[in-house]
Structure 1
Amino acid sequence: MKKVYIYFMAIIMFTFICFIPFFEQVKAIDRKVYDEAGILSHREVAELESLATELGEKWDTDFLILTTNETNGLYIKDYMANFYDEKIDEQGLSKWNATILSLDMKHRDVYLSAFYKGKLYIDEKRIDQILDEVTPYLSNGNYYEAFREYLYQVNDYMGREPAKWYLQWWFQILVSLGIGAIVVVGLALNVGGRVTVTSRTYLDTKKSRVLQEKDRYIRTVVTKQKKPSQKSSGSGGGTTPGGHSFSGGGRKF
């Protein structure tokens, strides 16, 4: 039983080590608004910086705004992914909680993405709902109002339950402990020793041999499958070149 107890304690320690990232405090980036397209006034940038900082501090997650007139031939989703990798490398972090609203002013594309803790609360469904509220402002050229609405919408969703209930940290810990308990029970039931008899135990390999082999052709079956249509590059999330997974969604404005 002492051996079983050691296994049980090891499983508990492993479980909590695995979930340390859920409680890790991640340094926030100082700048929140990257208006490369120059569509905001200095006053609007200052006010959005203040609001993004205030709301983001509550959730240990940066709420960023990124605008550009030139993506160097990339779709705004890929441009954002490179931007994220650049900023996380500058901070020297292995993970960075963030949501980023990105605008390509040249092609009139908007894309909203969420990373790590942001991704737990802002999934594709919620992103579509946020864009439903934000896009009309963008279409009318009310960029300042669009960005304020984005910040308030993200703040609202971060204050709710995670987008997928099975991603809640307490549920995943319970699952891990449940699996650990099953393993320990299995060990306890097998304390008396293990059975070593296998299918080869009573097999005499000197006298056993294959008597006959035969291959018979029956028929050829050909199935047809419709080729899936290409999805828009703006749909769904993805992974940055640096390996950071994100939820996301985009559309024209």
Structure 2
Amino acid sequence: MILTFILLIALSSTVLAYRELPLLVDNADLLTDYEEELLDSQLESISEKHKCEVAIVTVYSLEGKTAKEYADDFFDYNGYGYGEDDDGILLLISMEYSDWAMSTYGYAITEFPNKVLDYMADEFIPYLSSGDFYGAFLRYSERCDEVLTQGSSGSAYDTRKTLGLVPRLLISLGVGVLFALIITEIMKAQLKSVRYQPAASSYVRKNSVDIRQRTDLFLYSRVVRRAKPKSTSGSSTHRSSSGRIHGGRSGKF
């Protein structure tokens, strides 16, 4: 009897070998049926294309866990991950206290380092905060596709290359203003007949001053030391309750 009980406990906490749930699990009911269908199809396509599962899970409560713990456990105990190495990334949204977390495993830990995860979060958090969950999940899935596509080419994902409409407009405006200022300064310079002279000798009448002796007097020196910034481009990892190593990020929206 005791042996049977121990066996049941062991089976209940075993990491599943195969996924039994869809890549989109909307337990918090944030999406319409049509939105769910579109997103799940997109996630399946991206996952199959890159051999790395991209998943989204929404819940109301974290049931006493942190968002990171919940995301890791949901990934592990529900069989998420592609292939023998269970490569994948999962985005968790909890509505009770506006928590989010991304959990990475296997190959995805390398492809989604901290810098990339932070960049992705900056992309979808504004959508979450405004209640546009479908828009947030689209943005997340699109960025995952871009990161994995770049990774398959053998180069790291450049978080600077993708700019939204507003940043592009601001950059264009800034370039226009800078160009206008340069033109204005050139025109102003052409109107001046008297200009600033960098050397004092320009203001002295020739042969009116005769300096017979010159001496250089050292006053003081100044040394400035700056700390060399440490690299933060890698992935920070942690161990989940199943004992497996995960990467990821978490926060509030």
TMscore range, shorter length: 0.5 to 0.7
Q: In 1, distance between residues paired with 2:76 and 2:247?
A: 15
Task: Please list the CA deviations of residues 197-251 of structure 1 after superposition, one character each: whole Å capped at 9, or x if unmatched.
Answer: xxxxxxxxxxxxxxxxxxxxxxxxxxxxxxxxxxxxxx95422222221211112
With structure 2 as the length reference, what TM-score do the two structures score? 0.57
- Helix, strand or coil for the counterpart of 2:96? coil
Q: Does 1:79 align with 2:81?
A: no
Partners of 1:28 and 1:61 within 8 A in 2? no
Task: Please list the CA deviations of residues 35-87 of structure 1 after superposition, one character each: whole Å capped at 9, or x if unmatched.
Answer: 11111111111000000011111110111001111111111111112112211
- Helix, strand or coil for the counterpart of 1:67? strand
Q: In 1, distance between residues paired with 2:49 and 2:18?
A: 13
2:121 corresponds to which residue?
131
2:176 corresponds to which residue?
none
Partners of 1:113 and 1:237 within 8 A in 2? no
Task: Please list the CA deviations of residues 145-184 of structure 1 after superposition, one character each: whole Å capped at 9, or x if unmatched.
Answer: 100100010111112248x989xxxxxxxxxxxxxxxxxx
- Helix, strand or coil for the counterpart of 1:160? helix
2:47 corresponds to which residue?
56
With structure 1 as the length reference, what TM-score do the two structures score? 0.57
The one-letter amino acid paired with 1:240 is: S
Partners of 2:58 and 2:92 within 8 A in 1? yes
Which portions of structure 1, spanning 4 or more consecutive aligned residues, are displaced by more than 6 angstroms?
26-30
1:151 corresponds to which residue?
141
Match among 34, 51, 54 for residue 43 of structure 1 = 34
Q: In 1, distance between residues paired with 2:110 and 2:40?
A: 24
The one-letter amino acid paired with 1:78 is: E
1:148-227 mapped onto 2 (5 Å cutoff):
148-161=138-151
Partners of 2:111 and 2:151 within 8 A in 1? yes
Q: Report percent identity of matched pairs.
A: 24
List runs of 5+ in structure 2 lacking aligned partners. 1-16, 157-234
Q: In 2, distance between residues paired with 1:53 and 1:115?
A: 17
CA 1:57–1:29 in structure 2 vs 1: closer, same or farther (change >3 Å)? farther
Say what the alpha-carbon RMSD is for the aligned residues. 2.8
Q: In 1, distance between residues paired with 2:18 and 2:145?
A: 18
Q: Does 1:69 align with 2:60?
A: yes
Partners of 2:53 and 2:88 within 8 A in 1? yes
| C-alpha displacement of 1:27 | 6.9
Q: In 2, distance between residues paired with 1:141 and 1:108?
A: 11
List runs of 5+ in structure 1 lacking aligned partners. 1-25, 167-234
Q: In 2, distance between residues paired with 1:236 and 1:142?
A: 29
